[in-house]
């Protein structure tokens, strides 16, 4: 199951890559500036609109829910906020057992005055507090320093 796919078509393009070591990375170039994207990522009404989040608050420790037919009910806790740069949540799918993962959104300004948005979804980090920042994780993916592969 070692697969890596990326499609790039200029502005507005998104890229999906699967890092074998346990995380999914999505990248998206937006024409909006970081301040505006940050607003969309942290304003409760807007987060409710695009993420189907209920009771979202951009506050470390805040708990909220995501409801989506493809993933069911997910219980989230805001873990970290770096204004205009990064927001991270614990992502806990409901089920017979608890499956923990961590989602990190990070923003980087582009030369075109837009935003490079990265979403890193990490599975079961050893310690949620010490999860590396999305930049480090994305850098590791790009550098391809990890050579481990899934067995087919």
Partner 1 sequence: MPSAATESVFKALADPTRRAVFEQLSRGEMTVGALVERFPLSQPAMSQHLSALRAAGLVAQRKEGRHSYYRIEPRGLKPLADWVDRYRAFWPGKLEKLRSVLKEMEP
Choose which of 72, 82, 113, 144 interacts with partner 1 (CB under 8 A): 72
- Helices in the chain by DSSP H: which ranges? 34-42, 44-51, 134-143
Closer Cβ to partner 1, 60 or 124, answer by number: 124
Choose which of 11, 13, 124, 136 interacts with partner 1 (CB under 8 A): 124
Q: At which residue do the structure tokens 């074998």 appear?
A: 20
- Alpha-carbon span 60 to 77, nearest angstrom: 8
Among positions 74-103, residues that touch partner 1 (CB under 8 A) are 93-101
Q: What tokens were used for 82?
A: 């770096």
Q: How many residues does the chain have?
A: 152
Q: Does 9 bind partner 1 (CB under 8 A)?
A: no
Q: Does 46 bind partner 1 (CB under 8 A)?
A: yes
Closer Cβ to partner 1, 63 or 121, answer by number: 121
């Amino acid at each position: 199951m070692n697969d890596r796919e990326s499609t790039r078509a200029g502005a507005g393009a998104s890229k999906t890559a699967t890092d074998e070591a346990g995380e999914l990375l999505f990248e998206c170039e937006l024409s909006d500036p970081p301040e505006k994207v940050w607003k969309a990522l942290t304003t409760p009404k807007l987060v409710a609109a695009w993420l189907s989040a209920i009771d979202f608050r951009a506050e470390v420790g805040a708990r909220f829910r995501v409801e989506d037919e493809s993933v069911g009910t997910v219980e989230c806790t805001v873990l970290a906020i770096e204004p205009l740069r990064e927001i991270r949540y614990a992502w806990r799918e409901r089920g017979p057992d608890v499956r923990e993962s961590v989602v990190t959104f990070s923003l980087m300004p582009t030369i075109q005055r837009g935003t490079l948005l990265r979403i890193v979804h990490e599975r079961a980090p050893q310690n949620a507090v010490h999860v590396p920042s999305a930049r480090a994780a994305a850098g590791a993916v790009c550098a391809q320093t990890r050579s481990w592969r899934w067995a087919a």
